[in-house]
Structure 1
Amino acid sequence: MLLRLANLSLLVLFPVAWFAPLMKAGLLPLFKLSEISVISGLQSLWGTDVILALIVTFFALAAPYLKTVALALVQFGLLRPVALPALNILGKFAMADIFLIALYITLAKGIGVGRLETAWGLYLFTACILASLIIGLLTKQSLQKPMIGSKDPDK
């Protein structure tokens, strides 16, 4: 039950993390820093590099959310546990480092000189990705354990 609740909470936390500031960037220490989120980074990419924007959209938004929804379907018995290996692969595509590398590329293109500060959204987004991976592993383990008191039909 706790795994189901944790997984369902990711359906709310992922969108929050997408709009939360990942970092603050600015040209000089005297000027105000601009907040950069997953969504603002994607908006910037769509204006400059559509192919990279499509790739980042899949890795940062679609893959983790699809995995979370599919895992919820498995947890509630609406999707067979046979799908777990495919969800594991989808979870690997949802790794935050791929998105962060693309974000740094975008920043490097747009800001030649300046400073960066991490913000709370980076930690939230990273925690969501890691929680999704852990919930997936724990769900797989819980489905593989035999139920206490159940009889093995082969004996």
Structure 2
Amino acid sequence: MMTSLRILNLSLLVLFPVAWFAPLLRAAFLPLFGLNEISIVSGLQALWDSDVFLAVIVTALALFAPYLKTIGLALVQFRLLDSRALPAIGYMGKLAMADIFLIALYVVVVKGVSRAHVEGAWGLYLFTLCVLSSIILSILTERHMRKG
């Protein structure tokens, strides 16, 4: 069981960067981005030009939190970090989930306020899958560590 959890967790080290560059949204008209497809990275680039404070928050939530959580969970799974760190590691995954809500809120606001056509792209689903998988892997790892 632990071997499967390790493999799945380590696969996130590859999948998260793919999700960062994958198209999250397709938009027909967005004055902030001026793009047809928006990824996490292209969105961050636009944010750094317009709102540095928000860019720092989104960078922390979208890039650093999930990746550091995955690395921390791997350290626990390979017994290089004490399992008492699992609650703190779990919170990092929940912070990454906040980024998904930010994206969803953005889609709702744009659809409701402007005449823009916005739809989710495959990268949004991949990023969501990565974050949810990370949270589930943390829970399963914690249960496994308590048993044995």
TM over 0.5: yes
- Deviation of 1:76 after TM superposition, in Å, equals 0.6
Shift of residue 27 of structure 1?
2.7
d(CA) in 1 for partners of 2:81, 2:102? 28
Q: Does 1:100 align with 2:103?
A: yes
TM-score between the two structures when normalised by the length of structure 1: 0.82
Partners of 2:132 and 2:7 lie apart in 1 by 16
Paired residue secondary structure (2:15): helix
The one-letter code of the counterpart of 2:26 is K
Larger radius of gyration: 1
Q: State the AA in 2 paired with 1:63.
A: A
SS of residue paired to 2:118? strand
Give the partner amino acid of 1:97: I
CA RMSD of aligned residues (A): 2.1
Runs of 4+ in 1 over 3 A off after TM superposition: none
User: Any unmatched runs of 5+ in structure 1?
Assistant: 147-155
Q: Identify, as 1 or 2, the structure richer in helix.
A: 2
Asked whether the equivalents of residues 24 and 118 of structure 1 are also in contact (C-alpha less than 8 Å), the reply is yes
Output the TM-score relative to the length of structure 2. Answer: 0.86
Q: Select the residue among 42, 45, 57 that pairs with 2:44.
A: 42
- Measured in 2, the distance between the counterparts of 1:116 and 1:62 equals 26
Letter in 1 for 2:140: L
Work out which of the residue numbers 130, 137, 143 in structure 1 matches 2:139: 137
Percent of residue pairs bearing the same amino acid type: 57
Counterparts of 1:18-29 in structure 2 under 5 Å? Answer: 18-27=20-29
SS at 2:25 equivalent:
strand
* Inter-partner Cα distance in structure 1 for 2:102 and 2:88: 21
Kept in 2: contact 1:20–1:38 (CA 8 A):
yes
Matched residues, number: 138
Closer, same or farther: CA 98–56 of 1 in aligned 2, 3 Å: farther
Per-residue deviation, 1:60: 0.7
Return the offset for 1:98. 4.2
Return closer, same or farther for 1:137/1:25 CA change in 2, 3 Å cut-off. same
